[in-house]
Amino acid sequence: MVAWQRARIQIKPGRTNNVEAFKNMQKNSEALKNVNSHILIGGPPMEKKLLTIGISSAQHHQRSYLLNTLKSIFFASSQSEQKHIVVLVHLADPDPKWLNQVISNISVFFKPYIQTRQLAVINTPLQSYHPLKRHKKKSSGTLNYVAFHSIQNIGYAFLMNFATNYSDYFLMIEDDVKCAPGFITQIVTVLSAWEYKSYFTLEFSQLGFVGKLFRTIDLPRFVHFLLLFYQQMPSDHLYSHFLDLIQKSPIQFSPSLFQHMGNYSSFEGELKNFEGKDRKENGTGFPNNPDASLFTDLKVTNDSVLKNAYSLDENFFYTKEAKAGNHITVILDTPAKVIHVQVLTGSYLKGENWLKEGQVELGYDVTNRQYDCDDYVLLGFLVKGILNKQVLSEESGKKVKCVRLLVTATAPSVIIVRHINLWIK
C-alpha cells in the first residue's frame, strides 16, 4: 500500500511528468532482472512488425479455447494483413505434461505460421516467479483467487516484457476470444488516424483486459506497474487504475472487434456472462447477417455452395471464372438499416484468388420487386480484394434490401469469396 500511495503521489498531480516518474520507479525494481523467458516454438520475426498480438495462457479447469483463438486470429485476417503482425503466446504454466500437449497441438495445427515466424510460443521458467510469489489472503477474495490473479498478472507482465522489441504496437487479447473479420485492417486504420495524437492505450473491446493496444515503447511502464501491484487485484482492475493515473479517460472504438468464447471464466470454471456492453446495447460486435437469399450469374461448380459467401462460419464460395458484369447479390428477407458492410475475397492462407476489380453496391426497392432491387447506390470499391466500410448516416436512414458484389473486370483465375458481412442497426 505504501508503493500504491507513492505511485499516486508521483503520477496523479496534473498528470504531468508521467514518463519520468515511472522511469524513476523502474530503477528501483529488481523484478525483471532474473526473468528468463525463452522461445519454445517459432522464432522472432525477421524484421520489426507493426503489431504484436499477445496472449498469455494457462491450464483451464473447463475446456481450453487457445487453439480456437489462434485459428480465429489467422482466419479473420488476410495474407496481406498477416504480413504486418506477429502472434506471441506465453504459456504461463509449469506443468510439463500440459506444456508438451499444447506445444504439440500448436506445432501440428499452425505449422505454416510457425515456419514464416508469424507465430511464436514462449515460456518463463518457474524460478522466475519465485521472487514474486508471496500470496496473502486479501479481504476482497479467497487465497486461491489471490494466487490465481497474481500469477495471471505476472504472466501478462512477462509476456509484455518479452514483446517490447517485436513491433511498434502491442495488442493484448486473452486465450478465449473470437476476432471480427478484418480486425487488423480496422486497427491499422485507427492507428493511422491516431499516429501523432497523445494516448497511452486504445481500446477495441470493453471486455476486461481484451483488445487493449499499447505503443511498445510504453509497455515497460505498465509491466512495472503490474509487478508492483500484482497481488492487489485482477489485471483488468489494475489496468483501470493505471489508466486513471496516466490517461484522462478510456479511448474506446466501436463496434467491438473481440468477443469471448464460451461462458466460463478461467478461474475454477466459474460461469460468467462475457458479452461486451457495446454489443449488448447497440447490437454491434460481430456481423449480424440477417436471413437472406443469394443470387448470382457466376458459374457455380459442383463442389462450391453460393450461400457459403454469406455464412458466418469458416466456409467460402469460389468460382473458376468471373467476367465483367457478373455479380453476387444478397437480398434480405426483410429490408433493414445497414450500418456497416464488409466483403472479403481471396484465400486467407495464401493471399491469392482475390477479386482485383470489383465494387459493392447497396440496393433499395421502391416497386416491391421480388428477386432484385430497382435502385442501386455505389458503396465503395474493393481494395486488394477487400471492402470494409461504414455506411454513412444519410444512406443508412433508408432500409437496404440488396447488397451486390459486382465484378468490374474479367478475372484471370479462380475467385474466392470468403465473407459478405453485414451489420444491422
Cβ neighbours of residue 189 under 8 Å, at least 6 residues apart?
none
CATH code of the domain containing 367: 2.60.120.260
* Same structural domain, 199 and 244: yes
Task: Give the pLDDT of residue 102.
Answer: 93
Mean pLDDT lowest among 74-78, 283-287, 399-403: 283-287
If one counts every other C-beta atom within 10 angstroms of the C-beta of residue 132, the result is: 17
- Return the bridge partners of 424, or none: 338
Same domain, 327 and 184: no
At 62 the pLDDT is 63
Which of 32, 26, 25 lies closest to 8, judged by CA? Answer: 25
Residues 273 and 307 reside in one and the same domain: no
Give a yes or no: residue 390 inside a domain.
yes
- Over residues 348-356, mean pLDDT: 74
Q: In terms of residue numbers, what domain contains 264?
A: 2-281
Q: Verify that 219 and 81 share a domain, yes or no.
A: yes
Quick one: what percent of the chain has pLDDT higher than 90? 40
CB contact set of 57 (below 8 Å; sequence gap of 6+): 64, 66, 89, 90, 91, 92, 93, 102, 175
pLDDT attached to residue 21: 45
Q: Among 11-15, 143-147, 301-305, which range has the highest average pLDDT?
A: 301-305
Q: What is the pLDDT of residue 52?
A: 97
Choosing from 281, 300, 316, the residue where a domain stops is 281
**pLDDT tens string 110-131:** 999 999 999 999 998 876 665 5
Supply the DSSP string of 121-172, one letter for each residue: EEE--GGGTGGG-----BTTB-HHHHHHHHHHHHHHHHHHHHHTTTEEEEEE
- Please tell me what DSSP assigns to residue 264: B
Banded pLDDT at 375 (limits 50, 70, 90):
confident
pLDDT for 13 equals: 43
Spatial separation of the C-alpha atoms in residues 287 and 340, rounded to whole Å: 9
Q: What is the CATH number of the domain that holds 252?
A: 3.90.550.10
Q: How far apart are CA 50 and CA 171, in angstroms?
A: 11
Of 231, 257, 281, which marks where a domain is finished?
281
Residues 246, 121 within the same domain: yes
The domain tally of the chain equals 2
* Dist CA 327 CA 143 (whole Å): 61
Q: How far is CA 35 from CA 200, 232, 265, 269, 285, in A?
A: 25, 21, 28, 30, 38
Q: Is the pLDDT of residue 47 over 90?
A: yes
Cis peptide bond prior to 45, omega within 30° of 0: no
Is 39 in the same domain as 105?
A: yes
User: Is the Cβ–Cβ distance between 134 and 231 less than 8 Å?
Assistant: yes
User: Whole-angstrom Cα distance, residue 302 to residue 295?
Assistant: 16
In terms of average pLDDT, the best of 34-38, 127-131, 215-219, 313-317 is: 215-219
pLDDT at position 114 is 95
Q: Does residue 204 share a domain with residue 346?
A: no
- Please say which residue of 229, 256, 281 terminates a domain: 281
- Mean model confidence pLDDT for the chain: 81
On whether both 360 and 243 belong to a single domain, the answer is no
For residue 267, the model assigns a pLDDT of: 42
State the number of CA atoms in the 13 A half-sphere of 420 facing the CB.
30
Do 250 and 107 fall into the same domain? yes
Q: Are 267 and 297 in a shared domain? A: no
Q: What is the pLDDT of residues 379-398, one digit of tens each?
A: 889 988 899 888 875 455 67
pLDDT digit string, tens, across residues 175-211: 989 898 889 988 998 998 898 899 999 999 887 889 9
Same domain, 364 and 245: no
Using a 10 angstrom Cβ sphere, with 0-12 exposed, 13-18 middle and 19 or more buried, the burial of residue 309 is: buried
What's the pLDDT band for 7 if we cut at 50, 70, 90? Answer: low
Which pTM does this prediction carry? 0.61
- In a domain? residue 104: yes
Residue 18 lies in a domain: yes
Q: 407 with 309, same domain?
A: yes
